[in-house]
Amino acid sequence: MVEPQPSVLRVAGSGALTPLASLLGAAWAGRERQPTVVVEPSVGSTGGVRAAADGAVDLGLVARPLKEEERKLGLTLVPVARDAVVLAAHPNVAVDDVSSDDLVALFTGARTSFADGLPATVFLRDRDDSGHAPLEGLVPGLRAAREAAYEAHRFRVLSHDDAMGGALAITPGAIGVFSLGALSASRLPLKLLALDGVRPSLETLGNGSWRASRALGFVARPDRLERARAFLSFVAGPEGAAIARANGYLPAAEAAP
């Protein structure tokens, strides 16, 4: 077991929550509060759960429900925010909206350009990414198209949100599944695309019209939860909620169950 550092609260996990955790940690430090929050580079939700269970971090970051075997680890899940799973594109993509049928066609390779003729470059996240399920639950055929794309080695596969954001930002015609919160908090110069006429935003996420979303939270062992309690109260309070909203995340207290 890794012993905690008395003056440091160590945090790591999902890339969808990492930007918000960093901003919350910086705001906490700006008020000269202790312990200092140190947010590590993304290791994914699974990595965050494992690190929290092992005591390597005080708080793990997750962007999906705990799996059955993870629920046996004795971790407490603390909701933080809701994140819209979105379609992000390079700024040179002129179209503002894609249909479900067009999205599936892009993922299968049946279409290789957008409606205006601009060549499209699709980027995929790894199979375990938490962003797949929310979007694929709304778009029939998208999951099968993604799985077939892996098997055919049709598109480049990126393992972390920061890699996806960087690839989308530098590749003309690029499109991929991304996080509204990560895009907003990191100030990435990407274009958000509407899907079937619905545009992702905090407003459409809050009123339920944008339905592709995931719950973000911290996980911790009981002994580490106690030492993080003051920081968690800050996160759940008015100041933490304002930081979340200002950076594209819907605070947990405002999210529908």
Q: Is residue 131 part of a domain?
A: yes
Of 250, 247, 252, nearest in space to 236 by CA: 252
- 120 and 70 in a single domain? The answer is no
- 90 and 72 in a single domain? The answer is no
What's the confidence (pLDDT) of residue 257?
A: 62
- Taking only the tens place, the pLDDT of each residue in 115-126 is 999 999 999 999
Assess whether pLDDT exceeds 70 at residue 2: no
- 187 and 117 in a single domain? The answer is yes
Assess whether pLDDT exceeds 80 at residue 33: no
Domain ends where: 169, 190, 206?
206
- 54 and 109 in a single domain? The answer is no
Assess whether pLDDT exceeds 80 at residue 133: yes
Is-contact 101 140, C-beta < 8 A?
Answer: no
CA dihedral (177, 58, 75, 242) positive or negative? negative
Q: Is residue 1 part of a domain?
A: no
- 148 and 226 in a single domain? The answer is no
- 102 and 185 in a single domain? The answer is yes
- 143 and 185 in a single domain? The answer is yes
- Taking only the tens place, the pLDDT of each residue in 185-244 is 999 999 999 999 999 999 999 999 999 999 999 999 999 998 899 999 999 999 999 999
- Taking only the tens place, the pLDDT of each residue in 43-81 is 999 999 999 999 999 999 999 999 999 999 999 999 999
Burial degree of 101 (CB within 10 A; 0-12, 13-18, 19+): middle
Q: Is residue 143 part of a domain?
A: yes
Q: Is residue 2 part of a domain?
A: no
- 50 and 37 in a single domain? The answer is yes
- Taking only the tens place, the pLDDT of each residue in 86-122 is 999 999 999 999 999 999 999 999 999 999 999 999 9
The residue type at 224: R
- 71 and 101 in a single domain? The answer is no
- 113 and 159 in a single domain? The answer is yes
Question: With the CA atoms of 175, 162, 170 and 193 taken in that order, what torsion angle do they form, in degrees rounded to the nearest 10?
Answer: 30
Assess whether pLDDT exceeds 80 at residue 1: no
Q: Are strands 8-13 and 121-125 parallel, antiparallel or unpaired?
A: unpaired
Q: Is residue 105 part of a domain?
A: yes
Q: What DSSP designation does 6 have?
A: T
Q: Is residue 3 part of a domain?
A: no
Q: Is residue 133 part of a domain?
A: yes
What's the confidence (pLDDT) of residue 34?
A: 79
Count of structural domains, the chain = 2
Q: Are strands 76-89 and 174-179 parallel, antiparallel or unpaired?
A: antiparallel
CATH of the domain at 195: 3.40.190.10
* Angstrom distance (rounded) from CA 149 to CA 8: 43
Global pTM?
0.93
In the chain, what percentage of residues exceed pLDDT 70? 98
- 112 and 201 in a single domain? The answer is yes
Q: Is residue 59 part of a domain?
A: yes
* Domain of 104, in residue numbers: 84-206
- 14 and 97 in a single domain? The answer is no
The single residue listed with the structure tokens 């996980």 is 219
The residue type at 231: F
Of 186, 217, 231, nearest in space to 66 by CA: 217
- For 124, the 3-state DSSP assignment is strand
What's the confidence (pLDDT) of residue 56?
A: 95
What's the confidence (pLDDT) of residue 3?
A: 67
Two tokens at 144? 């099968």
